[in-house]
Structure 1
Amino acid sequence: MPVAKGAQAEVALATTEGPPAAGVTTEKGGSAAGAGAGGSVAGLLAVPSELRPLPNKRNWGPVIALGAVSAVWLGVGVVMTVASNDANSGGRAQRRQIFAAGGGCVASPSFAERCAELQRSGERAGRLGDIALGSYVLSGLLATGAVTYALWPRRSAQGSKALLVLPEPRAQGVSVVMVNAW
C-alpha cells in the first residue's frame, strides 16, 4: 500500500497458513526454512531452530590407500633385500669353491663354467638390490604423501563453520536471510 510523503500508515504483519519448510522453527513450533522465499509462512516469524555446522570432515580414503600401497612396496623391498642377500651368499659360496679348488676366474679356462655362474649370481644380487632400493624409495614417497595429505590444513574460512538462517521482517512480508562465508 503506497503512503504519501508525510502521511502515516499502520503496518502489521499478518499470518497465513502454508506448507512448512525444513530448517527454521516458527514461534508456534512449526518448521519454516525458506520462509518468505515465495510461499507463505506458518506462524508470525520464523526463527532459527539451531545452527547447523557444515560438514568439516576430511576424506581419509587417500591416506588409507597411500599407506596401504606404501606398505606393499615396503614389503616388496624387504623381500628383494632378502633375495639379494641370498644371491650374494650363493655367489660367495661359489667363489670359495673356486678358490678352494685352486682356481680363479681371471683367464682360467678350466673354471669358465663356474666363473660364468659366479658372474650371473653377482648380477642377480645387484639387480635384486636395485629393485629393493627402488621399492624402499617408492614406499617412502607414498608414505610421505599420505602423511602430507593427513596433516595438510584444510581451507580455513572462519565463517564457513555454520549456516545461519534468520528471519527478516519487512513491510511487504517476512523473508529469510542466510548468513555464511564461502
Structure 2
Amino acid sequence: MPGEHPGGGLSAATDGAFTAILRETYSAEAPGLVRYFRHRMRDDEDANDLMQEAFARLAAHMRTKMLVHPASYLQRIARNLLVDRMRSARSAEATRGPALDEVPELGTAPEQSFGIERQDVMRLYKAAVDGLPDQTRQVFLMHRVENLTYREIGEKLGIAVPTVQYHLGRALARIAQALDD
C-alpha cells in the first residue's frame, strides 16, 4: 500500500496526514454524532461511549485504507453501532426478562411503540431519499438497492468513481440529517 513502510504500518508522512484527517473529522463530526446517539439512546454516557467507539472503528479502518469521505463512513459506523446496541439490549432483555419495576402496563405493548417508531423512521427515510437530487438519489439507490459497486454505477451513468462517491456521501449526509432532525 502506498505510504506504508516495508515492515508494515504507515510512513511518517502518511501518518501525519492520517492524524490530520482524523482530527479534522473529529472536530467536525463528534458533536453531531453525540447528539445523534443522545437523541436515540436518551443517555449521555452511552452517547459518548458510542461516539468514541465509532471514531475508534473509523481510525482502525483508516489505518489500512485512507478514505475520501471519512464522515460518510463514520455515519455508517454510527448507524451500525446503534443497531448493534439495540439488538443486544433486546436480546439481553429477552433472556433475563424485565425487572419487576420495569413491567409494562397491561394496556401498552412495547412492540407497538417499536412498530410506530420504526414506521416514523421509515417515513422520514423515504422522504429524505425522495427529496434527494435526481442523480444523487439514482446513485444511492443503485448502490443500496441494486448492490452495484462504485465502478458499476459509474459505468452505467457515465460518471467517474469519485463522482459516484461524492453523490453517495451527499445522500448519506442528507439522509442522516433528515433522521437526526
* TM-score range normalised by the length of the shorter chain: under 0.3
TM-score (norm. length: structure 1): 0.21
Structure in which a larger fraction of residues adopt strand? 1
Structure in which a larger fraction of residues adopt helix? 2
